[in-house]
Amino acid sequence: MDNNELEKSTAYITVEIIEYIPNSVVIKTILKKSTGNISVMSFDSGEGLTEKISPFDTFAQIIEGKAEIVIDGQSFLLDTGQSIIIPAHKPNVIKANERFKMILTIIKSGYEL
């Protein structure tokens, strides 16, 4: 077991797994396997992730607040409860115009083109 993972067979309130830290992006691993991972993240207002391109599809779920996710130059504003699939091989940026929390799920199939 990855010591950074959450304890198995334990109930959690997902939005309470992680806290906000001023001027920071915080990442907590929920589950990490060779076939993919699930993480919960908190973004303070004005923070974000730099542009990246993943070889795998990524499922982003907003669990608190509002996020801006830019995929291949197109901006999507997501509110609590909304989600989006970030396609493999597309440039993407995650921005916090206000603070928010989200879950990111990546499944590595190994067969992406």
The neighbour count for residue 94, using CB atoms within 10 Å, is: 24
Say yes or no to pLDDT of 53 above 70.
yes
Between 113 and 29, residue with greater pLDDT: 29
Domains of the chain: 36-107 (2.60.120.10)
What is the structure's pLDDT at 32?
Answer: 92
Q: Tens digits of per-residue pLDDT, 73-92?
A: 999 999 999 999 999 999 99
CA dihedral of 66, 28, 57, 89, whole degrees rounded to 10: 90
Tokens 């083109």 sit on residue: 113
**What end-to-end distance do the CA atoms of the chain give, in Å?**
30
Rounded-to-integer distance, Cα 97 and Cα 86, Å: 19
Q: What is the pLDDT of residue 3?
A: 55
Q: Residue 46's closest CA among 77, 70, 25?
A: 25
Confidence (pTM) = 0.89
SS3 15: helix
CA neighbor of 31 nearest in space, from 44, 56, 12, 48: 12
Give me the chain's average pLDDT, please: 92
67 pLDDT above the threshold of 90: yes
- What was the pLDDT predicted at 2? 44
- The residue type found at 42 is S
**Could you report the per-residue pLDDT of 1-39, keeping only the tens digit for each?**
345 788 899 999 999 999 999 999 999 999 999 899 999
